[in-house]
Amino acid sequence: MAEPPFDAQERLGLCVLLAELGPFVPTLLEGWTANDLAAHIVLRERDLIAGPCIVLPGAFQRFAERRRARLAESKDFASLVTRIRSGPPLGFFRIGWVRSVPNLNEFFVHHEDLRRANELGPRALAPVLEAALWRNVRRSSRYLTRRLRDAGLDMEWPATGERMTVRPGEPRARLSGPPGELLLYVFGRRTVAQVEVSGSPEAVAAVQRTHLGM
């Protein structure tokens, strides 16, 4: 039998861990428990009004957060996990490119948000998953580093020697690490991502002070 798509594998792994750890454990997202994270994922996929507002600024994002908080309070944790485990609903989140890029990013990063906040270290990822994550690093990093000013940025997967230019400019910084760790870094999880940051002091400082991610 063929392996499930990578986003489905990460979804299942996250659900197993949510059920194992319970609703009250921390995540890497400040102030959020596992229950808050589960409500976020359900809202993202199933609330047609508030879900899209998650990635919009200002009042839209505050509206989405109010809806997420109400969902976290009104639904029991087990039912939230069951809804996540059931897979993406009909529509947008079943489109192929959505599953392979934003959904894989979403479930990989949130899986690690839960793992690493609870002293579970990095996983040994299958080479095919690492390759898929590297493709997503290539596709997503320019947007996720859009706030970077005053420096150029390159990224490198040392195990293969593959490199890419994310942002042109001088002085230059380089992020080096496995694809999953690079993805975590550009999603703003720099405190746990096992990534080497190198380059001129000015460029490194620019990267380190920049808010990365959505």
Residue whose entry in the numeric block shows the structure tokens 């998953």: 129
pLDDT of 75 above 90: no
Position 21 scores a pLDDT of 97
- Tens of pLDDT, residues 167-195: 999 999 999 999 999 999 999 999 999 99
- Tens of pLDDT, residues 15-64: 999 999 999 999 999 999 999 999 999 999 999 999 999 988 899 999 99
Domains of the chain: 6-117 (no CATH), 134-209 (3.30.1050)
Split at pLDDT 50, 70, 90, the class of 3 is confident
